[in-house]
Amino acid sequence: MGSDAYDKYLTHHRVTGCTHAPLSEREFWREKYAEEDRNPQGRCC
């Protein structure tokens, strides 16, 4: 999953000049897992 995914998200958010506030870490993970459930990729289980 990448334990540094949230840090990468914050960096991307900052350098791309997004005008809205970043997601909280809890919101980020909730959305990331929901997206994986909506669009499953190659996973073992």
Contact 9, 26 (CB under 8 A): no
CA angle 11, 6, 39 (to 5 degrees): 115
Contact 16, 7 (CB under 8 A): no
DSSP code string of 15-28 = HTT--SPPPPHHHH
The pLDDT value given to residue 22: 96
Where are the domains positioned within the chain?
3-38
The pLDDT value given to residue 4: 93
Tokens in use for 35? 């997206």
Q: pLDDT digits over 1-45, tens only?
A: 578 999 999 999 999 989 999 999 999 999 999 998 898 877 665
The pLDDT value given to residue 45: 59
CA separation, residue 6 to residues 1, 9, 28, 44 (Å): 11, 5, 7, 23
